[in-house]
Amino acid sequence: MIQKIAITVAALARALFRPSRRTAASPRLIAVAQMSRLGDMVCATPVFRAIKEKYPGCEIVVIGTPGNAELLKGHPHVNQYHSYTGSVWKLLRFLKELKPDAAILCSPHGLALAAMLAAGIPLVIVPKVVSGQSPYETRIYKFLRRFVQTRPHDMLKYAPREYLRLLEPLGIHTEDTRKTLAYSAEAWQKVQARAAETGFDFKTSVWIGMTPTAGNKIKEWPAERFGRLVNMIVREYGFKIAVLGGPNDHEEVKEMLAAIDPGVLVWNTCGEMGLDELKALIAHLDCLIAVDTGPIYIAEAFGVSTVDIVGPVDENVQPPRGEKHVVVKAEVPGYPFLRIMNARIYDVAGARQAVEAITPEMVWEKSKVILESLKK
């Protein structure tokens, strides 16, 4: 509490004596902060590209959680990544040394906004959530945003497009919401080597990836149903299956594998890969089937087809769009239960009902339009 009060006072003092500008002409360096999870960071990448297209010589420094540092490793539009570990004073010191011409906050974050103001950044642009209430808009955030430039973020609309609205004070107006990521050549070599060790070959097979877990457990589809879905796909098409998961996902993956028919071989990569290798693997899949979590957005960024089992998530706010992407949801009373800007406030029972109501047969039917297109 003392930390919050102190940084708020410092931010207010700086704001009163040095108000934020309304525009910034030909910026040399812009800081972009996205403090949310992996999928949200991927959805912010159109912001990076739009800045570089308008100002090719401008450097972009991204501020985010330590877990997203490797996600943006090698990104063509990011010059530097700074990990925010929770210390607002370290962030303030970093911003003072950085001296950006402008700072953009993609999602509400009171302490990050306070640090931007206290650092004396000439132009600070932040979202003002409309069409609903967001728990991320704390009292500190609402108070301090009076002293900076704001742009409305409609929580009922497509989040990547709403992020782009933050660029308007910089003279950037675009509707291009394509996501971008990159992986290293070394990571792809490691993936190929591991595949060869287990007897799998990317060159001669159609590969379907599956991710049965999510960072937010409320979104997880029962792992056993993923196993049943594998059986349907292999029987009909004979495609190869890769199971993706982190070091904490072994129990769910074990449950999934137990439901797969004897004799069906899958490549279980759970806990075996770092994020750079995971990106390389996903980039070479033909399709990824998963709940609405980070890997779905990585796949979209690499142009890989996706089947997004959205469960309680609003299909219109963030899930991938276009001919190569389908979403699976169940029509239950109260849907949708989760949106990006109110992810802490939802009906738990209703959210789980939205997940449990989705059957393997429903996912199978929705997936066919993509699976049929992959037949060789």
The 10s digit of each residue's pLDDT in 134-157 is 888 889 999 999 999 999 999 889
Q: What six digits make up the tokens of 182? A: 């990159």
Q: What phi and psi, each to the nearest 5 degrees, are found at residue 153?
A: -115, 105
Q: Which residues contact 79 (CB under 8 A, 6 or more apart)?
A: 59, 60, 61
The pLDDT of residue 334 is 85
Q: Specify burial of residue 57 (Cβ count, 10 A radius: 0-12, 13-18, 19+).
A: exposed
Instruction: Write out the two tokens for 17.
Output: 């004596």
Cβ neighbours of 33 (radius 10 Å): 25
Handedness of CA 317, 323, 325, 329 (dihedral sign): positive
Neighbours of 156 (CB within 10 A): 14
> Which letter does DSSP use for residue 319 in this model?
S
Bridge partner residues of 328 (DSSP) = 309
pLDDT above 60 (res 344): no
Of 193-202, 256-265, 361-370, least confident by mean pLDDT is 193-202
The residue behind tokens 């899958």 is 266
Residue type, 130: V
Strand ranges for the chain from DSSP E: 29-33, 59-64, 80-83, 102-105, 123-130, 149-154, 207-211, 240-243, 266-268, 287-291, 305-309, 325-328
Between CA 137 and CA 150 the distance in angstroms is 13
| CATH number for the domain whose boundaries are 2-170 | 3.40.50.2000
Q: Stretch 85-107: mean pLDDT, rounded?
A: 96
Q: Position 200: which residue type?
A: F
SS3 content of the chain, % helix, strand, coil (to 5): 45, 15, 40
> Tokens 């297209």 belong to which residue?
53
Q: Contact 350/337 with Cβ under 8 angstroms? A: yes
The whole-number average pLDDT for the span 24-35 is 91
Closest alpha carbon to 14 in 178, 98, 124: 124
Neighbouring CB atoms inside 10 A of 375's CB total: 10
Query: 127 with 52: CB under 8 angstroms?
Result: no
What average pLDDT does this structure show over 70-74? 97
Distances from the Cα of 100 to the Cαs of 24, 94, 290, in angstroms? 11, 10, 38
Residues near 333 by beta carbon (within 8 Å), at least 6 away in sequence: 350
Every domain range in the chain assigned CATH 3.40.50.2000: 2-170, 185-373
Q: Does residue 17 have a pLDDT over 60? A: no
What pLDDT does 198 receive? 85
- Judged against a pLDDT cut of 90, whether residue 343 lies above it is answered with no
Question: What is 185-373's CATH superfamily?
Answer: Glycogen Phosphorylase B; (3.40.50.2000)
